[in-house]
Amino acid sequence: MIHPTAIVEDGATLGAGCIVHAHAHVTRHCVLGEGVVVHPFAVIGGDPQDLGFDPATPSRVVIGSRTILREHVTVNRATKPGGATTVGSDCFLMTASHLAHDGTLGDRVILANTVLLAGHVTVGERAFLGGGAGVHQFCRIGAGAMLSGLSRITRDIAPFIMAAERDEVIGLNVVGLKRRGLNPAALAELKGAYRAVFAPTGNLRTLAAAALAGGGYTAPEALLFLRFFEGGRRGFIRPRATTEPEASEP
């Protein structure tokens, strides 16, 4: 359903059951999956906020099925020919949140009001970003991570971590892990991996590699956490001196 005064440009692809509310704008560069809802004054597929960008560049925005884009959300298309800014399925982008060019959101990601994601940011599945959080370009936020409101993030956040303030690890998102049904044995392994990386002093990549080589980890969540440190280009946030992995939600 396309409401009166909505703009859906010729060339846009909308799956079955999509709703584009009044005054929303979906450009020709968009591919929307089934059941996507675009609320008033959202702009999806606009040009990147990049002074060097050539508007003739063929790039896209791809939105997964059943994702909800609330009022004034902006999702910019990619900067490279053939590239795409992508949002997974079942995501919820609340009012005035912004996903810049070349960004990627996994499935079931939630961006609270006015979250600002710079270019080339990657967010793993089931992550939650609190209202007003800002994330620097090229940062990675791991699966199941949780950012408090007004966080300022300039480095990578490993999976299942809670972060707050400026680049501070608070602990593991234990409550969130239990809600998604993580069994006690896997949670114990993840806590062990957390301690192996963050308890000593040293290079986090080296510590994670050592844990992978000799730790005997088998739980997928622990392995995902440790392997996250193999990639990235911005370094990693670290915990406060008193952080324990059992920390609860902020």
Q: Any idea which residue has 């408090």 for tokens?
A: 148
Catalytic residue among 21, 25, 72, 101: 101
46 assigned to active site = no
pLDDT in tens, 150-207: 999 999 999 999 999 999 999 999 999 999 899 999 999 999 999 999 998 899 999 9
Residue pair 44/66 in contact (Cβ under 8 Å)? The answer is no
**How far is it, in rounded angstroms, from Cα 225 to Cα 145?**
11
Catalytic residue among 106, 119, 124, 171: 119
Written as six digits, the tokens of 30 are 């968009």
Residue 240 pLDDT: 75
- In sequence order, the β-bridge partners of residue 236 are 156
Domains and CATH numbers, the chain: 7-175 (2.160.10.10), 183-239 (no CATH)
Active site residue 29: no
Contact 140, 163 (CB under 8 A): no
pLDDT of residue 250: 34
**String of DSSP letters for 42-95:** -EEEEPPS-TT--TT---EEEE-TT-EE-TT-EEEPPSSTT-EEEE-TT-EE-T
Taking only the tens place, the pLDDT of each residue in 121-149 is 999 999 999 999 999 999 999 999 999 99
Predicted TM-score of the model (pTM) = 0.94
- Whose tokens are 């239990």? That residue is 178
Query: Active-site residue 39, yes or no?
Result: no
Query: How many CB atoms within 10 Å of residue 210?
Result: 16
Report d(CA 32, CA 13) in Å as an integer. 6
In degrees and rounded to multiples of 5, residue 184 shows phi and psi of: -60, -35
DSSP state of 234: S
State pLDDT tens for residues 12-38.
999 999 999 999 999 999 999 999 999
Q: Catalytic pick from 64, 72, 98, 102?
A: 102
Q: Are 128 and 142 in contact (CB under 8 A)?
A: no
Cα dihedral sign, 154-155-159-165? negative
Q: How far apart (Å, rounded) are the C-alpha atoms in residues 218 and 59?
A: 40
